[in-house]
Amino acid sequence: MTAGRSILRGSVQYLKGVGPRRAERFAKIDVHTGQDLLYHLPYRYEDATTVDAISELKVGQDATVIGRVVSKGVIPTRRRLRVFRAVLRDVTGHIECAWPGRPWLDRTIDKGDLLLAAGPVRFYHGKQLQPREHTVLARASDERGERPSGGRVFPVYPATEGLTHRQIRAVIELNLSRLLSDLGDDDPIPGGWLEELALPPLAEALRTLHGPSAVAQVGRCQRRLAFEELFFLQLLHARARARLRNEVRGIAFDAPATLTRALLEALPFELTAAQRRAWSQIEADMARPAPMNRLLQGDVGSGKTVVAALAMLKAIEAGRQAAIMAPTELLAEQHRRTFVKMLGPLGVEPELLTGAITGKARRQTLARIAAGDARLVVGTHALIQEGVDFASPGLVVIDEQHRFGVEQRRRLRESGEAPDALVMSATPIPRSLALVLYGDLDLSIIDELPPGRRPIRTAVRGPESRDAAFDFLGDQLAAGRQAYVIYPLVEESEALEARAATVMFEQLQARFPDAAVRLLHGRLSSAEKDEAMRSFLAGDTNLLVATTVIEVGIDVPNATVMIIEDAERFGLAQLHQLRGRVGRGAEQSYCIVFHASETPSERLVAFEKKTDGFELAEEDLRIRGQGDLFGKEQHGAVLLRFAQLDRDVDLLEAARRRARAIVDADPGLSKPAHRRFRHELDLRYAQREALYHVG
C-alpha cells in the first residue's frame, strides 16, 4: 500500500474490463482506485465445491452439477420473458437448466462446453435446475481432455444498479494477479505478530478472500484484515490517550478528602462493590497530574450519579470548579435538583446554566462562574458556548456520552490547564464496542445494581392480551400511579401496519376519561414537547402516550407501567432504555410489550428473560450484528469494514495490548520500526487525528 504504485493508486477506470462508464458505477460503491477494488471483498460465498451426480438429483435440493451442454436455446414465454435453457449431461444422466430473463447467455454458452451450474432443483415438466451461479470450465473446442473433476467457490460481491456482482467478479478476476503483484510483500503488520496470531500475510489473505478453493479458508483470512483494522484504530486511540497524558498539563487533586468523606458518611446506603471500584479508579486518575479521560458506564439505576458527585466534590475540595453537562434542559434541571438534595447539606450549592436562562439571571450566573463563586455548575451545551469562562475549571462530567462526540470533548480542554473529563453513559454497550468507539477513554463499568431494588416485571404478550393489559393499566391509574404507552410511529402507515400514537391517543382518552392523557411525539415543537414532559414530571399528566422521544434519564418515581406496542420495531437497547423509565420509586413496576406476529421474536424473548443491560447489549450484538449498532460514525465514515465484534474480541484485545505498548514506548512513533505505523495512521485517520490532537 505504498504511495506511488500506478495500478493500486491509479483510477479503477484504467483496469481491464472497466472504462469510464463502468468506473462511474464503481464509484457508487466507493471503489475509485485499484486498491479500492482489491479491498472490495465478497460479503458471502456460494459453495459449489461438492459436485452431485445428475441422476441422483431430487426436487427441492440445492445442487452443483458439471456436464457437457448437449443442446441449448432461447425460449419465449407467454409473459414475454425470454428464458435461456441448456441441457447438461454427465456420465449418469442429463438435466435441463433454465435461466429466466437472461437470453444473452445464448451468446456465451456453446453446445459442447463443459459447464458447472449450481442452484435449486425445481419441478417444471420434469426436474429442472435453475442456476444461481455457473461457469464454463472448458470450451467445446478445448482439446486438453475431458474436464476438471471438482467444483468451485463463487464469491458474491456487494453491487449496485448497473453493476452486478457477476460483473464485479469478472473485473476482479481479470485484474487480481496484477493488483497483488503490485502489492508484493508490502504488509503493515509485522510477520512475527502474524505468526503469533496464526494469521496469513496480507497478499495471501486478499488472494484467498477473492478466490478460495474452499469456504473453510475464508475465516482465517477475514480475521487477518480484521486485526489490521482493529490494530490501527487502537493505535489511534492509544496516541490520543498518550497525547492527553504527556503533552497536556493536568491537575493533581491531592487536597484532604473532607467533602468526599462527608458525602460517603452522609449517604443512607453503602456503595456497591462496583461503585467502589469505579470511584477508586476515578480517584486514582484525579490524583495524577495528567488529565483524566474516563468513561463511566452503568445500567439505569446502578448509581453513576453518586460516583460522579464524589468526583466533583474531589475537584471542589481542591479549590477547583466542577461542571456537569447534560444533553437537554430537562435532564440538566433534574441533575440540579438531585445535587441540591445530595450536596446542599455539605455547603455546595449547584448553579444552573441552560439556554432558557437569559437576561439578568444569565449575566449573574456567568459572573459567579467567572469569579469562581459557582463551585458546581449544572448545564447543557450552553456550558461550552462563547462567553462562559470558568475561573478555575477542575472537572467536567458529560452525561450521556453518545450525545457528545470527539469534537465536544476536545473543546472542553482547549485552553490552559486541561480539566479532568468523566463521561457517563446509561446506555450499556458491549465492552468490545466501547473499546472501538471510545478507545481513547479509560473505561469504568458499574455492573451491579444496589441491593433492595425491585426488578421490573416484564411480560411479552400477543394481541389477544391487549384488553387485559389495558384493564391492568386502568387499575394502576385509578390507584394514583402514572404510566407510559409507547408507539413506534406518529401517523398510521399501511406499509408498516404499526399503531400510531396519534390515533391511539384519542382511543385511550376515551377509554380512561378520568385520567389526564397527553401526547408526545417528534413532530411537536420543542416548546410543546418540553411542556408535555414537564406536565408528566409534575404529576399533572397521568398517562403519557408517546413515541420514543421520551427523555432518556428522566426520573418519575410515580410511573409504574410501561406499555410498548409493536415491540418488534425497536432494538433491544431501545426497549431496555424504555423499560428503565419505570421502576424509579418504591412501588412495583411493570413493562408489558406487545408483538404483532404469531410468536415473539428471539429479541423479545431475550428482553423478557434478561434485565441486565450489559447482557442485553451483548445479545443485541449477537442477534443484529454490529452494523445496526454502529450506524455511521460522527464524520460519516464506516468505523469497521472487516472486523466483527462478536467474532473478533480476541483480536481486539490483542490489538489494544500491542497498540498501547508501542505508544507507551514511543509516543511519537518516531523509531524506525514504528514509522510505517505512523504512515498508515496518516493514510487512514488524518481527520480523526486532527480532532484528537490536544497538544
Q: What pLDDT score was predicted for residue 490? A: 66
Single-letter code of the amino acid located at 79:
R
Does residue 619 belong to any structural domain of this protein? Answer: no
Instruction: State whether 308 and 430 are in the same domain.
Output: yes
Q: Report the CATH number at residue 547.
A: 3.40.50.300
Q: What pLDDT score was predicted for residue 565? A: 92
State the DSSP code for 576. H
Mean per-residue pLDDT of the chain: 88
Helix (H) or strand (E) holding 467: helix 466-478
- The residue ranking higher by pLDDT, 402 or 265, is 265
Model confidence at 417, pLDDT cuts 50, 70, 90, reads low
Q: Which of 256, 555, 257, 304 is nearest to 422 (CA)?
A: 304
Q: What pLDDT score was predicted for residue 401? A: 54
Each residue's pLDDT tens digit, 246-296: 888 889 999 999 999 999 999 999 999 999 999 999 999 999 998 998 999
**Residue 407 pLDDT > 70:** no
Scanning the structure block, which residue is given the C-alpha cell 416484564? Answer: 458
Scanning the structure block, which residue is given the C-alpha cell 450536596? Answer: 343
Each residue's pLDDT tens digit, 475-499: 999 999 999 999 887 666 655 545 6
State the DSSP code for 69. E
Q: What pLDDT score was predicted for residue 493? A: 66
Does residue 11 belong to any structural domain of this protein? Answer: no
Instruction: State whether 411 and 462 are in the same domain.
Output: no
Q: What pLDDT score was predicted for residue 409? A: 54
**Residue 690 pLDDT > 60:** no
Does residue 104 belong to any structural domain of this protein? Answer: yes
Instruction: State whether 567 and 655 are in the same domain.
Output: no
CB neighbours of 457 closer than 8 A, spacing ≥ 6? 588, 589, 590, 591
Of the candidates 590, 610, 630, which is a domain's last residue? 610
Each residue's pLDDT tens digit, 441-477: 899 999 888 887 788 999 999 999 999 999 999 999 9
Instruction: State whether 427 and 491 are in the same domain.
Output: no
Does residue 635 belong to any structural domain of this protein? Answer: no
Q: What pLDDT score was predicted for residue 352? A: 96
Region of 353 on the Ramachandran plot (φ > 0 left; ψ -120 to 50 alpha; else beta): beta
Q: What percent of the chain has pLDDT over 90?
A: 64
Measured at the alpha carbon of residue 140, what is the angle toward residues 138 and 143, in degrees to the nearest 5? 75
Buried b (16+ CB within 10 A) or exposed e, 64-98: bbbbbbeebeeeeeeeeebbbbbbbebeeeebbbb
CA distance 133 to 413: 57
**Residue 326 pLDDT > 60:** yes
Instruction: State whether 262 and 372 are in the same domain.
Output: yes
Q: Which domain holds residue 694?
A: 223-234+649-695
Model confidence at 637, pLDDT cuts 50, 70, 90, reads very low
Whether the CB-CB separation of 11 and 32 falls below 8 Å is answered with yes
Each residue's pLDDT tens digit, 149-200: 678 899 999 999 999 998 999 999 999 999 999 998 889 999 999 999 999 9
Does residue 206 belong to any structural domain of this protein? Answer: no
Query: 315 is written with which cell numbers?
Result: 475537584
Each residue's pLDDT tens digit, 366-389: 999 999 999 999 999 888 888 889
Q: What pLDDT score was predicted for residue 418? A: 82
Instruction: State whether 505 and 465 are in the same domain.
Output: yes
Buried b (16+ CB within 10 A) or exposed e, 486-511: bbbbbeeeeeeebbbbbebbeebbee
Query: 527 is written with which cell numbers?
Result: 416548546
Q: What pLDDT score was predicted for residue 441? A: 87
Instruction: State whether 291 and 311 are in the same domain.
Output: yes
Does residue 26 belong to any structural domain of this protein? Answer: no
Instruction: State whether 485 and 601 are in the same domain.
Output: yes
Q: Report the CATH number at residue 149.
A: 2.40.50.140
Average pLDDT, stretch 130-146? 78
**Residue 5 pLDDT > 60:** no
Of the candidates 446, 478, 503, which is a domain's last residue? 446
Q: What pLDDT score was predicted for residue 460? A: 97
- The residue ranking higher by pLDDT, 382 or 560, is 560
Average pLDDT, stretch 330-336? 92
Instruction: State whether 486 and 437 are in the same domain.
Output: no
Does residue 691 belong to any structural domain of this protein? Answer: yes
Instruction: State whether 330 and 471 are in the same domain.
Output: no
Q: What pLDDT score was predicted for residue 646? A: 83
CA distance 165 to 207: 18
Each residue's pLDDT tens digit, 158-171: 999 999 998 999 99
Instruction: State whether 395 and 480 are in the same domain.
Output: no
Of the candidates 156, 177, 201, which is a domain's last residue? 156
Put simply, whether the predicted model's pTM sits higher than 0.95 gets the answer: no
Average pLDDT, stretch 351-365? 93
Q: How far is CA 659 from the centre of its chain?
A: 22
Work out the burial of residue 625: count CB atoms within 10 Å of its CB; fewer than 13 is exposed, 13-18 middle, 19 or more buried: middle
Instruction: State whether 541 and 687 are in the same domain.
Output: no
Provide the domain count of the chain.
4
Q: What pLDDT score was predicted for residue 413? A: 57
Work out the burial of residue 185: count CB atoms within 10 Å of its CB; fewer than 13 is exposed, 13-18 middle, 19 or more buried: exposed
